[in-house]
Structure 1
Amino acid sequence: MYVDPNNKDAIYEQIVFNVKKDIIQGILSPEDKILSVRDMSKKLGVNPNTVAKAYKELENQNVIVTIKGRGSFVKRNDDEQVIDIQTQNKLKKELKAWLVEAQYARVPKELVYKWIEEEEY
C-alpha cells in the first residue's frame, strides 16, 4: 500500500481506497487484522491522525471493525448485508459527472464500455 502526496485525493481517502482495493484483490480477507494506526502511519510516512481518520471512515462504511485492545479487523461481508444506499448515491453522482466529462470529450460509448470491461470488476 502506498499514498501519493501529489494525488488530488486526500491522504486519508487514498488509504480508504487502498484498503478496499486490497480486500477486493484478496490481499486482505475477512477477519484479517490490519496494521495499527501507529504502524500504518510509519509504513506510509503520514501523520497518525490521518490514518485514524481513514480507519474511522472505513468503520463508518462497515469495511473494518475495531475492537478496543485488540486492533482493527476486516469485517466479514455477508452476502445478505444491506447495501449502503448512501455509498450507492455517491457513486452514481460521481459516475454522472464522469460521463458528462466523457461526453464533452466526445468519447464514444463503446470505448467507455470497453474501459469498464477492462477493469477488474
Structure 2
Amino acid sequence: MMAVDFQISIGSTVPIYRQIIDGVRRGVTNGELAVGDQLPSVRALAERLLVNHNTVAKAYQALVRDGVIESRHGRGVFVAKRRNIYTKAERHRRLDAALQAFVGEALLLDFDDAEIRQAVEKKLNDANGRKKRGDQ
C-alpha cells in the first residue's frame, strides 16, 4: 500500500475533504501515486490525518466520481487508469488560475523573470523524468 504523503491544515479556509482531494490529485499528477497503487483505507487515512472518517469517505467518493481512484469491492481503493476528466476549456481555466497564483507569489517573493522561468523548467524536467521512469 502506498503512503499518501500530504498534510492538511485545520485552520485553512479550504475544507478538509477538499484538501484530501487536492493531496491525492497532486500525488497522482506528480507521479508519487501511480496507476494501480493502493491508497490507505478510509479509517487508516482518517487516523493518520486525525480527521473524522466521514470526511475521508466524502473525499474518496468525490475522487471515485471524478475517475481519479477506483474502489474494488473487498480489496480497497486504488489509483485509477489515467484519463482526461476535464474538458479542454476547464483544463485551460485551471492552468490559468494555477499560473496566476504561482506567478503572483513568485513576484511577491521578489524573483525575477529569469529565476521564475528556470524554476518552472526544472520542475517540468523533474516531472517528465518521473513520468519516463514510471512508464518502464
Aligned position for 2:67: 62
- Residue type matched to 1:35 in 2? P
* Alignment size in residue pairs: 118
Q: Aligned Cα RMSD in Å? A: 3.0
Determine which structure has the larger helix proportion and give its number.
2
**Structure 1 residue 28, shift from structure 2 partner:** 1.4
After superposition, give the CA deviation of every residue in 1:72-97 in whole Å (9 maximum; x if it has no partner): 100121xxx34512565566577779
Give the distance between the partners of 1:56 and 1:50, measured in 2 at CA.
10
Report the 3-state secondary structure (helix = DSSP H, G, I; strand = E; otherwise coil) of the residue aligned with 2:43: helix
Shift of 1:70: 1.1
- In structure 1, the partner of 2:86 is 84
Matches within 5 A, 1:1-121: 1=5, 2-77=7-82, 81-85=83-87, 89=93
Identity of aligned residues (%): 31
TM-score, scaled to structure 2: 0.63
Judge conservation of contact 2:69–2:79 (CA < 8 Å) in 1: yes
Scaled by the length of structure 1, the TM-score of the pair is 0.69
